[in-house]
Structure 1
Amino acid sequence: MADDDWKQKLHLPAKDTRTRTEDVTATKGNDFEDYFLKRELLMGIFEKGFEKPSPIQEESIPIALVGRDVLARAKNGTGKTAAFCIPVLEKVDTTRNAIQALILVPTRELALQTAQVCKEMGKYLNVEVMVTTGGTSLKDDIMRLYSTIHIVVATPGRILDLANKNVAKLNDCRVLCMDEADKLLSPEFEPIIEQLIGFLPRDRQIMLYSATFPVTVKHFKERWLNKPYIVNLMDELTLKGITQYYAFVEEKQKVHCLNTLFSKLRINQSIIFCNSVNRVELLAKKITELGYSCFYIHAKMLQSHRNRVFHDFRNGLCRNLVSSDLFTRGIDIQSVNVVINFDFPKNAETYLHRVGRSGRFGHLGLAVNLITYEDRLNL
């Protein structure tokens, strides 16, 4: 990595619109007004900073609005969350005291982030949005469900628990959205999802969104979806704005290599991925010893601690975050322009989601992989 071309890639600030790639600019030229949305929803969309629909939003919003099942594939960081939140918000009838839409996501952090997007866009609609995930007080959730809730954003296990207790009543919930659908249809989640569908009315609408669709999704589609409209914006897998490199090193050289990258790269914020909880903590300690600011996050931490780290990193309190694969999906932090795979991931899907944390919404980003002899075949 001796030549300077990769440094040039990062000279524009992360939010500079000139760096937008066609992943988000190759649109048909639609406007949000074209979809005949409620005026209050349009106010929320524009206040959130969305000017025009991205390609995935153009493709799926009009279809979702007419009530068809949707199976949509689009790259990380191209506006998938708004692609399903906008039709969900448009369909909610706030005069009715009932859960009318359920948005399922695989991780707690993504649930908080998705609910926040819903609340911000629905600011003028008087829509009540509730987040419910594992690791938080069940009693608080039960109390909350006694008041009016229109949209629930949840991780699967917790909402199934509430449905089984007959606290979350889903008999009027006619819209089910699944974000990161491939993860939700993995063996750990799929039985829970199928039980949840049993609580929904027969005339429900199901929408699946993801960047990767393995064979499990095909089986689910054939069993549960009714003539789904299929959107595939994946002519290639990785975002156009991300430049990918690898450094061939020995295990014992990795920290030294990382130190060199920190000193040479222009990093707004970086996420550094390790393959185990133990290695996350050890590496975070090493980075701090080298004199760089650093947080870490993994699934074995207390939920309150995870929330705090996620919140502080997103607000720019720290430049570098060491993470396990907990953080690979859906997490949208615009100022992350560098992703480093300190440990190379075990499969292609994980790789795709990891590097997709950089180069969000058409900006430029960099992915650097530290590759050992053992990783060569995987690479």
Structure 2
Amino acid sequence: MTIVNSFPKEWQEKWEAEAFKAPTMIQENLFEPLANKESVLGISPTGSGKTLAYLLPLLLNVKKGEGNQLLILLPSQELASQVADVVREWIKPLELNIQTIIGGANVSRQIERLKKRPEVLVGTPGRVLELIKSKKIKAHLINALVLDEVDDLVAQEDYNAAKSVMKSVMADTQVVAVSATGQVILPEIDTLFRHTPKVIDVTSEDTTKGVIKHHYLLTPTRKRSDNLRRLAHVKDFKALVFFNQLSELGVASERLDFLGLDHRTLASDQHQTERKKAIDDFENNRVSLLLTTDIGARGLDFSDLYYVVQYDMSLNAENYVHRSGRVGRMGKSGEVITLVNDRDVRELRKMMRQLDNELSEIFVSHNQIVEEKIVGETEEASTSDKKKKEEVTKKHTTSRSNQEKPSETSKKKKKNRKNRNKNKGVHWK
């Protein structure tokens, strides 16, 4: 017997219609404690179905028409929007209402919709706290608070806002936190939860993760944009490309524009509508490259995404886990390609040993990714470019030489001129 048998009939039909298989390990293990209103810290690999793992049992405790009851906090607007889309699909049979509360959106419109007393709220900490303080969100009515990607929520600038939201709800509110790397917050667990939660970690038992291959492509720093362009010309290549700094992302984007390669960017300094369009265009295969920072490393789920490219190597193993977690989701396979120079490859090898991942070198030749170095387009192109450069230089040198070499006639005229001047000088004296 699985948890699916505990679902309302409409949910069971939807589960079958979506062609979902048996519930994942984290979904099975979280269902009963969450349905029983226990506070829990759930840890499982990326792509193992954590959103439905907490959402379905918590929705069963929400009562129609009784105002704000379930609040889900997420670290980014994009992730909040994606989770909100999932919530909308599953609350229809229950006739519940949802409201997204995210920064960058029209706050007046959000306040107006809150007057309809939606039962489920999904948002980012800053905007949620703002509306709690202005009494537009009734925090005392919240029965369950979810901290999705909890390690990210407590590691960034939203930490104070997230903590303040937690303090604003009632002491007996059910608190649920989930993440793929939730182990990192275990030392701080008592400061995050008013009451010690039940820890459910299925990382070692989970079998949902697909096969992910980890590669590196040796690339001089100044040539990274060119190699990214060459990767993009590989047949059916589609990749989420990660940068450490916004400034570097901007430079690379300008370079790709110059090279004529259509792409999109997903960055924190963009307006919400721009970010949403970038995600939609990438998801719907209008572009093959989406350039982003670690804002795109958490929770975002793209269908049929096989490649992740690290333009900049991740700063630590935890970030690498989340970046690589955009592929290999729910049993699918994928590849992670890191662009590194000779110095960086040593650090990458060390990180892979820490994560127990195998690492291999790849090459790009004739619009193909290969694992053995052959004389390919890079070498041929460079040889061709060298010959062209030599021909241009030779032509330029010859032309300049011809211009500088005086003719015999001019020599004679010059000589005669000297003689005439000489004679003139003699006569003048």
CA distance in 2 between partners of 1:290 and 1:261 (Å): 13
Asked if 1:71 is matched to 2:32, the reply is: no
Match of 1:361 among 319, 324, 330: 330
8 Å CA contact 1:181–1:217 kept in 2: the answer is no
8 Å CA contact 2:69–2:144 kept in 1: the answer is yes
Which residue of 2 is the match for residue 211 of structure 1?
A: 180
Which residue of 2 is the match for residue 307 of structure 1?
A: 276
CA distance in 1 between partners of 2:181 and 2:133 (Å): 31
Which residue of 2 is the match for residue 8 of structure 1?
A: none
8 Å CA contact 1:346–1:378 kept in 2: the answer is no
Asked if 1:343 is matched to 2:316, the reply is: no
Summarize the alignment of residues 49-68 of structure 1 with structure 2, pairs less than 5 Å apart.
49-68=19-38
CA distance in 2 between partners of 1:165 and 1:377 (Å): 52
Higher relative contact order (CA 8 A, sep 6+): 1
Deviation of 1:278 (Å)? 2.5
Deviation of 1:234 (Å)? 2.2
Deviation of 1:180 (Å)? 0.5
8 Å CA contact 2:219–2:340 kept in 1: the answer is yes
- Identity level (%): 27
Q: Secondary structure at the match of 2:51?
A: helix
Match of 1:165 among 91, 114, 134: 134
Q: Secondary structure at the match of 2:103?
A: coil
Which residue of 1 is the match for residue 216 of structure 2?
A: 246
Q: Secondary structure at the match of 1:353?
A: helix
Larger Rg: 2
Aligned-residue Cα RMSD (Å) equals 2.3
CA distance in 2 between partners of 1:370 and 1:168 (Å): 46
Deviation of 1:355 (Å)? 1.1
Asked if 1:31 is matched to 2:2, the reply is: yes
8 Å CA contact 1:99–1:173 kept in 2: the answer is yes
Which residue of 1 is the match for residue 410 of structure 2?
A: none
Return 5+ residue gaps in structure 1 as ranges: 1-29
Which residue of 2 is the match for residue 178 of structure 1?
A: 147
CA distance in 2 between partners of 1:86 and 1:49 (Å): 17
8 Å CA contact 1:275–1:325 kept in 2: the answer is yes
For normalisation by structure 1, the TM-score amounts to 0.85
Distance 1:281 1:236, change over 3 A: farther
Distance 1:197 1:84, change over 3 A: same
Match of 1:127 among 73, 96, 107: 96
Further displaced range: 324-333 or 306-315: 306-315
Which residue of 1 is the match for residue 381 of structure 2?
A: none
Q: Secondary structure at the match of 1:171?
A: helix
For normalisation by structure 2, the TM-score amounts to 0.75
Which residue of 2 is the match for residue 294 of structure 1?
A: 263
Q: Secondary structure at the match of 2:105?
A: coil
8 Å CA contact 2:42–2:182 kept in 1: the answer is no
Distance 1:273 1:145, change over 3 A: same
CA distance in 1 between partners of 2:17 and 2:112 (Å): 31
CA distance in 2 between partners of 1:341 and 1:376 (Å): 12
Runs of at least 4 residues off by over 6 Å = none
Which residue of 2 is the match for residue 91 of structure 1?
A: 61
Deviation of 1:103 (Å)? 0.4
CA distance in 2 between partners of 1:63 and 1:49 (Å): 26
Return 5+ residue gaps in structure 2 as ranges: 349-429
CA distance in 1 between partners of 2:153 and 2:18 (Å): 28
Choose between structure 1 and 2: higher helix proportion.
Answer: 2
